[in-house]
Amino acid sequence: MRKRLLAEAELPLETAVLVIVGMTVLIAGLLLIPATAGVLPYYESGLYGLILFIFGLQTILMGKTPFGELPASRGLLGVGLFIASAGIVVCIIPSVPVRVVRAMLFVCLTPGGLLLMAQMILSPKKLRLWARVGGVLRPLPYSCTAVYLLSMILGSLLYMEQSACVHYLTAIVLTMQGGAVLYLARLLASVYREYPQSTGDSGGSGDLPFDKAMLLLMGVFLVLLGLLLFPVNLGIIPFAASAQIGLLMAVNAVQMLAAGGTPIGTFPRNGVMLLLGLLFAGAGIVSCIVPDLLTYPLTLLIGALNVANGVITLLKALPAMIKGAMNPLPEPIGPVLLRLYRTQTVMGGVSIMFGASMLLPGIISGLVISVVLTANGGVLLYLMRVLFQVEELARLAGETASSKEVS
């Protein structure tokens, strides 16, 4: 068992996201049954917002929209950010009209599922190729067809007048859809092991590497969350704290499953990391759907992780920043590295403040927390820009060294 847990276990990005999708709809279906019976509270907007957020996540990371895969572009990246932002708002602001959100999901799931099925049938790189090659590709048409058909049925159910009968039927379809998506994720993992060149993990919809795309997504998430908390703290709009925590857990789960990334650093991708990613995903999904059930323990966990991340970041960045200021490197690398260390130092301090506010509620006023979150998101976005500058300088330095060797 120890060898299995510590053995290398890498999930392609698409498989990792599909695992989150499958877990979301499966858990939602299982929870909807006792909720319809009146045994359990059920926050519809938390589920719908999480689904929209995942749609945006797929668009940003892989260029895969609910209506098919599109070529990488900044416009598509903007669409993905818009969908993800809409999911965040729907998830954490209960006053968003549920009927409007159901209509949005109907468009994504029913016409979207029909378009995806048509693309699978008509594309020369899908159904015909799968049938010709066979092997691990042989079950894909049946699995994809099941996912698309269940998506169309689910979208239609969400758009219908809601009643106890419709809720029970929706629970059954959600459970079946969850199982179908998880089975598809398992199939794709086998396909990508057999054909690793087909993973397409090199870039997202804006041709962003995974780490930069996640920085962008988390930065936008925190800025939007901070801005929303201003009217929340003034009593103008309601707020779903459990859904906010659930979304943060889901984002962390994607990073753990796809890259071994955690709030306190990156670790080898093995069975332990996959298990932790699944636990984070499950806890986050339940927190989004069932109000207040896991809010307290998950708040402590996220708070502790943010404090630990801030301390670790400061311990790494602060000495480097002081050394860089006292013994600056020559242009152009010196100023860029100094900006990087300063940004990381600020990010560490802000992360500690955010974590402390979660561990000790009331120690920082709500309006100050809004400022801290907005600043944290802004620092992450600026950090992404600085990292691009560092990579560009490293690339230029490598080209210069190569030209000198040739000459």
Three state DSSP letters for 325-380: HHCCCCCCHHHHHHHHHHHHHHHHHHHHHHHHHHHCCCCCCHHHHHHHHHHHHHHH
Q: Residues 28, 132: one domain?
A: yes
Check if the beta carbon of residue 221 is closer than 8 Å to that of residue 49: no
Strands (E), 37-182: 64-65, 68-69
Residue 5 pLDDT: 54
Domain check: are 39 and 68 in the same one?
yes
Query: Do both 128 and 150 map to the same domain?
Result: yes
pLDDT at residue 363, rounded to an integer? 79
Q: What is the DSSP letter of 206?
A: T
Instruction: Indicate whether 233 belongs to any domain.
Output: yes
Is 9 in contact with 274 (CB distance < 8 Å)? yes
* Tally of domains in the chain: 2
Tell me if 227 is assigned to some domain. yes
Regarding whether 302 and 289 lie in a shared domain, the answer is: no
Note whether residue 29 is domain-resident. Answer: yes
Residue 76 lies in a domain: yes
d(C-alpha 281, C-alpha 17), whole Å: 11
Q: Give CA–CA dist 93/241, Å, rounded.
A: 9
- Domain termination residue (choose one: 248, 263, 293): 293
HEC letters along 41-67: CCCHHHHHHHHHHHHHHHHHHHCEECC
- Residues 203, 261, single domain; the answer is yes
Series of mean pLDDT values for 10-residue runs along the chain (407 residues) = 60 86 93 90 91 90 85 85 92 90 92 92 84 85 93 91 87 94 91 75 59 87 91 90 92 86 80 87 94 91 91 88 76 78 88 88 82 88 84 68 54
* Claim to verify: residue 73 and residue 40 sit in the same structural domain: yes
Look at residues 250, 276, 293 and tell me which one is the last residue of a structural domain: 293
DSSP letter (8 states) at residue 202: S
Q: Which runs of E-coded beta strand occur in 139-203?
A: none
Would you call the peptide bond into 319 cis, given omega within 30 degrees of 0 as the criterion?
no
Structure confidence at residue 397 (pLDDT): 63
Closest CA to 139 of 121, 122, 127: 127
**Residue at 184: amino acid letter:** L
Whether 137 is covered by a domain: the verdict is yes
- Same domain for 204 and 241, yes or no, is yes
134 and 266 in a single domain? The answer is yes
Cα 43 to Cα 51: distance, rounded to the nearest angstrom: 13
Which pLDDT score is estimated for 282? 94
The total of other beta-carbon atoms located within 10 Å of residue 62's CB is 23
Predicted pLDDT at 202:
45
Residue 407 lies in a domain: no
Two tokens at 99?
A: 């009927």
Q: Is the pTM of this model over 0.85?
A: yes
Q: Are residues 177 and 318 in the same domain?
A: no
CA distance 105 to 98: 11
Q: Are 56 and 78 contained in the same domain?
A: yes
Q: How far is CA 48 from CA 25, 87, 147, 189, 399, in A?
A: 10, 7, 18, 27, 48
Same domain (yes/no): 134, 234: yes
Q: Answer yes or no: are the C-beta atoms of 231 and 97 closer than 8 Å.
A: no
- Domain boundary residue, one of 239, 259, 293: 293
Does residue 398 fall inside a structural domain? yes
| Contact partners, residue 331, CB within 8 Å, separation at least 6 | none
Same domain, 107 and 250: yes
**Domain annotation covers residue 329:** yes
- What is the domain extent for residue 164? 2-293
Distance CA 302, CA 308 (A): 10
